Structure 1
Amino acid sequence: MFEVARLAGVSHQTVSRVINHSKDVSESTRLRVQEAIDALGYRPSNSARALASHRSRTIALVAGGTSLFGPVSSITSIEKVARSHGLFMSAMMVDENACTARGFNELCGTFLEQNVDAFIFLTPTDVMFEAACRVQVAQPRVIVTSTHGALRADEALAQGHGPGPVAMAGIDQWGAVQKVARLLVARGHRSALYLAGPPEWRDAATRLASWQAACGMLRIRTAIVHAGSWESRESYALMNHLIDERGMAGRSLPTAIVTANDNQAVGVARSLHEHGYRIPQDVSLVGFDDIPTVDNMYPPLTTVRPRFEDLGTVTMRLVLALLGQGQQVVFPETEHGVGLIPADVVQRRSLGHAVRR
């Protein structure tokens, strides 16, 4: 840095301001310093900066569910915002099915050895969420989760959490499912099958609880089928069994089928097609997540579009606020201590008016 300062004819403090993107440097000086940096091939040492500032400028990210569209979209947005603020991301992807509280704590210990400034936890399952709440770290943490599960978000925090400040954010999945139920009623549907997701996933628990509440309030007759995964092959098999079972009993299908995610809707659509049911003329179909390609299904799938990119952006803004580097985040809705990002219902041709049975 001193060599850069001598070549540019400025103080080393000015070089530091240029490197840290301070506004207190004129444009001409900034250009002169940058030319010296380029000429000397200078690169700032993050380790040295960490020693001087007591900040590593590194954010730890522990994420589950990374095989699915939603978490990947949020992670991309988180990284983009972090980079725009000169921060580094150090990420660990976790197998949410194999994760244990002990393993989670050991992973965070590895990050603590890197002197990270803050933690972001993407916690799709109950095990990951409770571990993220209770891990003993002094750094700020932001937990991305759903409002419901084995424990509600506020209940988990009330049972105790690590010493550092905590903020939580998520998608308003409860409200999104309520919108779907009201839309079905507006189209004349009074009976619907709901295909639930794996129970250990907090997204699945939130969506199911909201669906049950909406059906009670709107007087929708519902049958619920529980899946053990989000996979289309399982929903295909479950739907085949249900159609055969109802056929042998002389019972018709409900006028609508709602699935807990779009992958399940793909399997259901295949089963309906193979059994001669038309969508939406015979049965309407609604999914959740608006993953790529469902707008090109036949017919295009009505689904819920969570604002995953907005969730990632807000998550990083929460981190900056907890670090004292940004303004407080105000959410349009908060439930059980979780700041909520809206989700939109995208209406396509798979949803029609109810047919008479």
Structure 2
Amino acid sequence: MATTRKGSNRPSIFQVAQLAGVSHQTVSRVINHSPDVSARTRAKVQAAIGQLGYRPSNSARALASARSRTIGLIAGGVDHFGPVSSITSIESIAREHGLFMSVMMVDEAHCTQTDFEAMCEGFLQQNVDAFIFLTPTDAMFEAACRAQVSQPRVVVTSTHGAVRADEAPGLSRRSSRIALTGIDQWGAVQDVARLLVSRGHRTALYIAGPAEWRDAATRLDSWRAAALHHRIRTAVVHTRSWQARESYALMNHLIDERGMSGAALPSVVVTADDNQAVGAARALHEHGLRIPHDISLVGFDDMPSVDNMLPPLTTVHPRFEDLGAATMRQVLALTDQGQPAEFPVNRHGVGLIKADLVLRSSLGHAVRHL
């Protein structure tokens, strides 16, 4: 008769070993994903684990492998779609590799170096094997690069900001223990500009995001370079937040101002994120301007439901799932548990995942405004 759990006692590694007919050391190797176990033996142990409902304790695994199998994640921007999507993807990939994510979320607008070091110290007390830092703002990025930790770290960021990624203070001294990953936002904005030109657009309004956000800086720098290259006449307006209400107010002001002066509207509005596009679309609609018949609209991030706007929004779709997978591969490589990720693009020391331009009906051919 097969061995089963009795009462409420938690099954032990020795019970698993007895049921599988192997030593408890072999069970430990299977639990810790050691390659030094045959496929047949691994299957027997996994079957015994499943039958008994055995769950290894994190402390036991740490003792067996000299690792805690815990990754410390410090994340800013958790009120926004991009960072939340990245965290979700990273955590999912970590679970697939049997790793535990310990997460601290921070207000990216007020995070100081002292705050960052205190959070790192909290993780060090958990004996984390490595760190992942999700750094949407300049202050967080520089704090992550300066952090006084010896464990490997992977910094998820954008290439541009107050400093370029490869110019961050203290980065060169720790190059063998640090990796940087992100989305190829520069390339995505270049794709947007090429598509606009192919549809005859030569005048554009660009609504930029908050200056302290590295995503906003990268997208704006890329847009300015693309506009210059393609000879797109562009006006740029800056926002203090990513909120739709701010871009709505700015768009209203622009339409009223140009209406009073008699100046023509641009043929397309390009926004640094989809929330801003939603606000701009509302202002255009309330002024009787039809998208794309009178003016076109493009966003960034492919947030849920923008494909159901009226009309559906042309935008950029970042591959957050691929970013999570690549970030975790870098963690595993830095902790000698696998090969590093291969990136299609590398800019300024950041391994970048490509983003996809999604063409929908909010972008039409240029309309000549008289």
CA deviations on 1:46-95 (whole Å, 9 max, x unpaired) are 21332343210001111111222222222222112211111111111111
Q: Aligned partners of 2:249, 2:49: CA distance in 1, in Å?
A: 66
Amino acid at match of 1:208: L
Residue 283 of structure 2: aligned partner: 271
Residue 333 of structure 1: aligned partner: 345
CA deviations on 1:4-41 (whole Å, 9 max, x unpaired) are 434554322122233334451454674367437854x6
Does 2:185 match 1:173? yes
1:223 to 208, 219, 235: 235
Q: Aligned partners of 2:268, 2:46: CA distance in 1, in Å?
A: 65
User: What displacement does 1:159 show?
Assistant: 6.1
Please, which moves more after superposition, 156-165 or 44-53? 156-165
Aligned residues of 1:277 and 1:283 also touching (Cα < 8 A):
yes
Q: Aligned partners of 1:228, 1:280: CA distance in 2, in Å?
A: 27
Does 2:217 match 1:205? yes
What's the RMSD between the two structures over aligned residues? 2.0
CA deviations on 1:247-292 (whole Å, 9 max, x unpaired) are 1111121111000000000000000000011111111100000111
Residue 67 of structure 1: aligned partner: 79
* C-alpha spacing 1:33/1:225, structure 2 compared with 1 (3 Å): closer
Q: Aligned partners of 2:336, 2:147: CA distance in 1, in Å?
A: 22
Q: Aligned partners of 1:36, 1:58: CA distance in 2, in Å?
A: 22
Q: Aligned partners of 1:351, 1:319: CA distance in 2, in Å?
A: 40
Could you tell me which runs of 5 or more consecutive residues in structure 1 were left unpaired when the two chains were aligned: none
2:127 to 102, 115, 124: 115
| Secondary structure in structure 2 of the residue aligned to 1:63 | strand
Q: Aligned partners of 2:45, 2:292: CA distance in 1, in Å?
A: 66
User: What displacement does 1:182 show?
Assistant: 1.2
Residue 297 of structure 2: aligned partner: 285
Please, which moves more after superposition, 52-61 or 268-277? 52-61
| Secondary structure in structure 1 of the residue aligned to 2:143 | helix
Residue 249 of structure 1: aligned partner: 261
Q: How many residues align?
A: 356
Q: Aligned partners of 1:12, 1:336: CA distance in 2, in Å?
A: 48
Q: Aligned partners of 2:133, 2:45: CA distance in 1, in Å?
A: 41
Aligned residues of 1:133 and 1:160 also touching (Cα < 8 A):
no
Please, which moves more after superposition, 251-260 or 29-38? 29-38
Map 1:22-33; keep pairs closer than 5 Å.
22=34, 24-25=37-38, 27=40, 30-31=43-44
Amino acid at match of 2:208: A
* C-alpha spacing 1:81/1:66, structure 2 compared with 1 (3 Å): same
Does 2:245 match 1:233? yes
User: What displacement does 1:157 show?
Assistant: 4.6
Please, which moves more after superposition, 157-166 or 205-214? 157-166
Residue 298 of structure 1: aligned partner: 310
| Secondary structure in structure 2 of the residue aligned to 1:120 | strand
| Secondary structure in structure 2 of the residue aligned to 1:142 | strand
Residue 35 of structure 1: aligned partner: 48
* C-alpha spacing 1:49/1:123, structure 2 compared with 1 (3 Å): same
1:342 to 331, 354, 359: 354
Scaled by the length of structure 1, what TM-score is found? 0.94
* C-alpha spacing 1:49/1:276, structure 2 compared with 1 (3 Å): same
Could you tell me which runs of 5 or more consecutive residues in structure 2 were left unpaired when the two chains were aligned: 1-12
Please, which moves more after superposition, 200-209 or 69-78? 69-78
Q: Aligned partners of 2:170, 2:44: CA distance in 1, in Å?
A: 53
User: What displacement does 1:217 show?
Assistant: 0.9
Overall identity of the aligned pairs, in %? 70
Residue 141 of structure 2: aligned partner: 129
Aligned residues of 2:258 and 2:264 also touching (Cα < 8 A):
yes
Please, which moves more after superposition, 156-165 or 225-234? 156-165
Residue 330 of structure 2: aligned partner: 318
Scaled by the length of structure 2, what TM-score is found? 0.91
* C-alpha spacing 1:19/1:283, structure 2 compared with 1 (3 Å): same
Aligned residues of 2:27 and 2:45 also touching (Cα < 8 A):
no
User: What displacement does 1:169 show?
Assistant: 0.8
Aligned residues of 1:138 and 1:163 also touching (Cα < 8 A):
no
User: What displacement does 1:113 show?
Assistant: 0.6
Moved >2 Å (runs of 4+): 1-10, 17-23, 25-39, 41-45, 51-54, 157-164
